[in-house]
Amino acid sequence: MATLEKIRNRAGLLVIIIGLALLAFLMGDFLRQGTTLFRDSQMNAIVVDGEVVKINEYEARVNQAQELYRMQSGNNNLSDVEMNQLRNQVYTSIVSEHVLDAKTKQLGISVSPAEVFDLVQGDFISPVVMNSPLFVDGQTGVFDKVALLNFLKGIDPKQINSYGPAERDQALELRNIWIAMENNIHDFRLNEKYTNLISKAMVANKLEIEDYVAAGRTTADLALVSRAAMTAPDSIATVTDAALKAFYDGHKEAFKTDEGRTVDVVYATIAPSQADIDATFQDVETARRELIEGVNANDVISEFSDEQAFDAYLPLSFFRNAFFNSTLADELAAAEPGHVTDVNFSDNTYSVAKLLGTKVAPDSLLVRHILLQPGDAAIDSLFNAAKGGIEAFSNVAVNHSLDNRSGANGGELGWFTEFSAGRFISPEFRDAIFSATVGTPVKFTSQYGAHILLVEKATAPVKKYNVAYVTKKATPSSRTIGDLYNEMNTFLTKNNNPVALDTAALVAGYQTLKDLPVYAMQPNLANSITNSRELVRWALNNKVGAISEVKECGDKYVIAVVKKVYPRGYVSLADAKEQIQPAVLNLAKIDAMYNQLKAGNYASLEAYSQAVDMPVDSINFVKFDTNRLEGVGFEPALNAAATYAPLNTLTPVKGNNGVYLVNVISRNSDADTVTPEAARGLIETSRQAAVRARALQWIILRSDVEDTRVRFY
C-alpha cells in the first residue's frame, strides 16, 4: 500500500516525464523530417508559382538542348559563355512552359496529340520543324519534308529494335531529342492559341477609327525650333525626392529583380615580365640566326613560331595584312631571295622573315573536280569524256561525282590561292592545280578518293613571294604567373578589411571596378573580366563584407568584395536612385525649358532661335501616324501639333526629348486617305501584334519565379 501511495503521489511527475519523452521523440522525428525537407529543397533549381523543378530535371533538359545545338550547328565544343547562354535559354523555356500551362488551363486552352501530329506531318508544318537545320536541304536551304519523314522512320521504336547496340544507342538519343522538339512544337502552338485569343480583345472603337481617318486625310508642313534636353545645362533644373519617388512608383515593374549583389573588384592583369619579353627576343634571334645559316625554314618555324608556315608563293598584298608585320613586308618587296630581315618588335611580338624565292604566276585558280571511288573501272572513260570542255566536264560531275554538293554545280569548288589550297585542302592538291594547264583535266588521288581536276580559269600572272615567317608573342611564364598570384595573396592577407580594400589596392598599384551588379543569369562579373562565372556564384552565395580568394579569371587575377545584397522582389528607391537620377533630371530639364519657352512669349521663330542658339528647321509631309520625323526622330507630341495645332500660330510643344516652338505653315489633303475599314485593320493589327509579342513576358513578370541554379554552377 505504501508503494502504491508513493506512485500516486508521484503520478504528476511521472506524466510530465513521459510527456517530455514523447515530445522529444516526436520532435526528433519532426527535426529529422525537417532536415530531409531542407535537403530536398536544396535540390530545387527553379520554382515557378510554387511548382518545383529539380536540378536533375533541369540538367536533363540542358543536356537535350546541348545535344540538339551540337547536331544543328556542328559545334561540339561550347565555350563557357555559350554554355551559360544555353542554360539560360532552357531556364527561360521552363519558366515560360509552367506559366503558360497554368494560364491556358484556366482558360480551357489545350493542344491535342492529333494537332501536334498535324503540325509535324500535315499541310501546315510547325515553324519549330521548318526552321530546324536537321530538316533543311543542304543545297537549296529549303525545308525538306522527305528528310523529316526519313528521320522519323529512323527513330521509330520498331526500327530502333532492329539496330545493333551502337546504332540503337544513337537512335535512342535522337529519339529523346525529337521528343524534346515535339514538346517545343506543342508549347509554340499553345502560346499561339493563347496570344491569339487575348489579342482579339484589342479592337478599335468607332471614335478611334473616325479620328484615325480624319488625321490621315491631311499632311502638314512645319517650321520649328528644337531644343533638346541634352543640350541644356543641368543647372536649369532640380531633382527633388518627390520627383524621384513619382518616377520610381510609375516604373516600379522595371525594378523587379531576382536576388542579386553589388560587388567591388580588385584585379591585376597577368602580363609578361621583362624577363619573359627578353626570353622571347632570344628565341626569335636564334630563329633568325638559323634562317641565315640555311636551316630548313619549316623546321625553324615549327620550333620557334606561333604561326604555321605559309609554304606557298603569295602576292605581296597577302603580306600587307594585320597578321604579318608591315615593316617586314616593305623590306621583302625590295629584297633578293635569301634575304633575312632584322628582328622586329611590335605589340609585345617579335618577328623575323626570310625571302625564300619569287616567281610570276596566277594568284588564284577557279577549280572543278569529279570525285570517284579509288580504282573505279570507269575512271579512264570518264576522264576522256571530261576532256570535251567545261560543259562536258560539268555533265560528268553532275552524273558521276560522289561529291553531291559540288557535283550538283558541275563540280565547281571555287577559287583557290596557293595558301588556301595548301592550308585548307592539302599541299598535294595545291601542287596539282597550280601545275595544271588551264582547260586541261588532270588526275589526282587524295585521302577522299580519286579525282579528276580541271582548272577552269586563272587570274593574271603577278609577282609572288615565298616567305618563311617567324612570329612569337611574349607571354607570361609560369614563374611570372606564380609571382603575381603570390603577391596578390600576400596583399589580401595584409588587407582583409572590406571597407578599406579598394583604397589599399590603388596604393598597391592594382586596378579596381566598383559597384558591379551581379545576378544569377550573367556569365561574368563584367565584360572585361572573362571566365569569372565562379566568382558570380561565390558572390550570390555570400553576405555583405565577404571577400573572395584570389581567382584566376581569363588574363586577370581577381579579388571580389560583396558590398550590397538585393533580395528577390523590387530594388528599393534608395538603391535605384542613382540609376533613375538621369531620367528624372532629363524630365525636370524639359519641364524647366518648357516653362521658359512659354514665359518668353516669343514673337517669332527667329527670336527663339537666337535666344537658345538653335536653327530654324522645317519638316514637310507630316501625318498623325508618321513614325519618325526627319532630324527629330520619334516625337508623338509633334505629330499631334502637326495635326491639331492652329495654322500660322506659334505653338510651344513639350516632347519626350526636348521642347519645340512650332508653326504649322500649311495642311494639305492626302490623296491616299485610308478607309474606315482599313483604319480599323491598321489599328487592331498594330495593337494585336504588340499583345502577341508581349503577352507571355507580361504574365511571367507577374509570376512568382525563384531561380536558385546558382547553387550548382
- Residues 480-484, mean pLDDT to the nearest whole number: 97
* 285-311 tens-digit pLDDT: 999 999 999 999 999 999 999 999 988
Give CA–CA dist 197/376, Å, rounded. 63
pLDDT of 245 higher than 90: yes
* pLDDT band (50, 70, 90) for residue 626: confident
**Which amino acid is present at 7?**
I
> CATH code at 533?
3.10.50
Least confident residue range of 38-42, 228-232, 269-273, 438-442: 38-42
Give CA–CA dist 708/683, Å, rounded. 42
Highest mean pLDDT, choosing among 79-88, 155-164, 578-587? 578-587
- Residues 466-492, mean pLDDT to the nearest whole number: 96
Q: Does residue 190 sit within a domain? A: yes
For residues 451 and 482, membership in a common domain is answered with no
**Residues contacting residue 379 through CB under 8 Å, at least 6 positions apart:** 372, 443, 450, 452
* 168-195 tens-digit pLDDT: 888 888 888 888 889 889 999 999 999 9
**Residues contacting residue 132 through CB under 8 Å, at least 6 positions apart:** 72, 181
Return phi, psi of residue 176, to 5°.
-65, -40
Residue 6's pLDDT is what?
Answer: 38
For residues 134 and 227, membership in a common domain is answered with no
The pTM for the full model equals: 0.68
For residues 654 and 580, membership in a common domain is answered with yes
Residue 22's pLDDT is what?
Answer: 47
Q: Does residue 173 sit within a domain? A: yes
pLDDT of 47 higher than 80: yes
* pLDDT band (50, 70, 90) for residue 12: very low
pLDDT of 410 higher than 90: yes
Q: Does residue 6 sit within a domain? A: no
For residues 482 and 560, membership in a common domain is answered with yes
For residues 347 and 315, membership in a common domain is answered with yes
Residue 147's pLDDT is what?
Answer: 87
Q: Report whether 664 contacts 640 (CB < 8 A).
A: no
- Residues 131-148, mean pLDDT to the nearest whole number: 81
Q: Does residue 707 sit within a domain? A: no
pLDDT of 60 higher than 50: yes
pLDDT of 111 higher than 90: yes
> CATH code at 376?
3.10.50.40
Q: Does residue 46 sit within a domain? A: no
Give CA–CA dist 259/163, Å, rounded. 49
Return the ∠ at Cα 263 (arms to 257 and 269), rounded to 5°.
Answer: 130
Longest CA–CA separation in the chain, Å: 130
Q: Does residue 60 sit within a domain? A: yes
Q: Report whether 172 contacts 160 (CB < 8 A).
A: yes
pLDDT of 5 higher than 50: no
Least confident residue range of 29-33, 192-196, 314-318, 469-473: 29-33
For residues 349 and 397, membership in a common domain is answered with no
* pLDDT band (50, 70, 90) for residue 139: low
For residues 482 and 451, membership in a common domain is answered with no
* 78-109 tens-digit pLDDT: 888 888 889 999 999 999 999 999 999 999 99
pLDDT of 605 higher than 80: yes
Give CA–CA dist 166/557, Å, rounded. 45
For residues 354 and 322, membership in a common domain is answered with yes
Give CA–CA dist 358/436, Å, rounded. 19
User: Given 360, 376, 403, which residue is the final one in a domain?
Assistant: 360
For residues 265 and 296, membership in a common domain is answered with no
Q: Does residue 634 sit within a domain? A: yes
For residues 304 and 233, membership in a common domain is answered with no
Q: Does residue 323 sit within a domain? A: yes
> Could you tell me what percent of the chain has a pLDDT over 90?
61
For residues 110 and 190, membership in a common domain is answered with yes
More confident call, 510 vs 141: 510
- Tell me 476's DSSP state: -
Q: Could you tell me the residue range of the domain that residue 279 belongs to?
A: 274-360
* Number of domains, the chain: 5
User: Given 546, 566, 586, which residue is the final one in a domain?
Assistant: 566
User: Given 566, 584, 604, which residue is the final one in a domain?
Assistant: 566
* 411-430 tens-digit pLDDT: 999 999 999 999 888 999 99
Give CA–CA dist 682/643, Å, rounded. 19
For residues 119 and 190, membership in a common domain is answered with yes
Give CA–CA dist 151/97, Å, rounded. 26
